[in-house]
Structure formats: structure tokens, C-alpha cells
Amino acid sequence: MARYVLVHGGGHGGWCYQPVARLLQAAGHEVYAPTMTGLAERSHLLGPHVDLDLHIQDIAAVLHYEDLREVILVGHSYGGMVITGVADRMADRVGRLVYLDAATPVNGQSLHDVAGPVIDAARPFGQVVDGVELVLLPAPGAGAFYGVTDPDTIAWMDARLTAHPWKCFEQPLKLTNEDALWAIPQYHIVCTSTLATRDPGLIGKARAEGRLWDIDTGHDLMITEPRAVADALLQIAAG
């Protein structure tokens, strides 16, 4: 039995992994899909204290309090920042890192450094609420921004997407245990359309080592192609 911890991206919550989690659980595996502070069912905890470091602490706490080891730690989008930080702090508990169409940062980089043009495009549509700058504001049909086209799925997302603090996206990642971190096997499940924007050395190495899957779908591939994502995650566990 494998243990998966599925970390969501900006504006989402653990809810976005429901289709994938069901498939992994049906295959006999243990699945955790926590929501980070200030988002989804934890949006009532939003405040100026919410940043990348806090989100890393959120996920690290799941590993600690659930006593999880040899975890397959999966991060989508902004979640790539988070899982990298978690693995740096808790390398002894992480067996594999999976970047799900995610940011792949190095020490000192923020999400803005990694994906500036994409998130810069969203920033002008944000707003400041109670002193917190928020982006990815939910609005009818917002699922289309994440590459979702099915009307019923978009309606499901409309009821669940929440705004995200900009502070999370501009805070640099601080790594202190890089030898252990980069020794953890890394896997990449990406959208075909984003391949050309990624580090060719990283992608080439992953492809050569059989650690790359590309799926021809939108950015929220865990929602639009849950079976393909689950199949890749099952192969990672088996491999």
C-alpha cells in the first residue's frame, strides 16, 4: 500500500483531488488531500499571516501528525513550491516527489520568479481585502482559466474556488537541506501544452529516466483527466 499526500495549487483546496483520490483509494492506497490555510474550507482563516512558509508548515504537519513515511508527495501548480519546501524540511519522510503541472523551484525562487507572466496576468484583477492582497478571485466560469471546458465541472468548481493571497506567490523558497532534498526521486506529470515552457534539461532528464508523463489537457489535469493522472501515480508507486 502506498501513501499519497496530494497538495493543491492556488485558489483550490483538497476538494480538487476528489476524482483522483477515489481512484487511488479504490486501488487500495491511502490518500490525504489536505487544504492549506486560508483556502476552501479553511478560507475563514485567511489573514496577513498566510504565506508560502505557512503552507509548507501546513503540509509538514500532516506528515508529522499522521506519522507518514515513504510518502508520495504530489504538488499541483503552486503546490510545487510547497512540496519542495516540505521535502527540504522532512526529507526522511518523503519517498517520491511528483510535480503535477507544477512549479519546480530552486533555492531562493518564488512562484513569481518561476511563472511570472502567468500570475502577473492575474494580479491586476485582484483586490485588497482587510489588508490582504488577493488574486485568483472566484467568479462565474473561473474554471475556464484552469483549462476546464465541461459546463457541469465548471459549475462544480465555481462553488469551491477561493481567492489566494498574493504574498504566497512572491515569497522566496528557502531551502536548507538540499543534498537530502535533491536525492529524493522526482517525477513530472505535465500538460502537453506546457512542455515547451519548462526547463529542457529537467524535462529531458525526466524523460530519459522514465519519470515523465504528459497529458494533453488543461492545467487542472487532476479534474479533467483524473484517470490518466491516477494511472501515472499508480505507476510511480509501483516503480
43 an active-site residue? no
Put simply, whether the predicted model's pTM sits higher than 0.95 gets the answer yes
C-beta of residue 88 within 8 angstroms of C-beta of residue 177: yes
Q: What cell does 150 get?
A: 465541461
pLDDT, tens digit (0-9, with 9 covering 90-100), for 96-139: 999 999 999 999 999 999 998 888 888 999 999 999 999 999 99
CATH number for the domain including 31?
3.40.50.1820
Q: What cell does 134 get?
A: 488577493
pLDDT, tens digit (0-9, with 9 covering 90-100), for 46-87: 999 999 999 999 999 999 999 999 999 999 999 999 999 999
- Please check whether residue 163 lies inside any domain of the structure: no
- Please check whether residue 150 lies inside any domain of the structure: no
Place of cell 486501488: 27
Range of 184's domain? 3-114+168-238
Q: State what percent of residues in the chain have pLDDT above 70.
A: 100
The CA distance from 3 to 7, in Å, is 13
pLDDT value for 239 = 86
For 97-110, b where at least 16 C-beta lie within 10 A, e where not — what string?
A: bbbbbbbbbeeebb
Q: What is the mean pLDDT of the chain?
A: 97
C-beta of residue 14 within 8 angstroms of C-beta of residue 40: yes
Q: State what percent of residues in the chain have pLDDT above 90.
A: 95
Q: What cell does 175 get?
A: 531551502
pLDDT value for 20 = 98
- Please check whether residue 71 lies inside any domain of the structure: yes
- Please check whether residue 144 lies inside any domain of the structure: no
- Please check whether residue 120 lies inside any domain of the structure: no
The CA distance from 49 to 112, in Å, is 19
- Please check whether residue 127 lies inside any domain of the structure: no
Q: Which DSSP string corresponds to 189-211?
A: EEEGGGGGGS-HHHHHHHHHTT-
- Please check whether residue 175 lies inside any domain of the structure: yes
Residue 57, sorted as left (phi over 0), alpha (psi -120 to 50) or beta, turns out to be alpha
C-beta of residue 88 within 8 angstroms of C-beta of residue 66: no
Using alpha carbons, list the distances in angstroms from residue 104 to 18, 107, 137, 165, 207: 24, 10, 24, 20, 16
- Please check whether residue 70 lies inside any domain of the structure: yes
Catalytic residue, from 43, 77, 110, 193: name it.
77
- Domains: count for the chain: 1
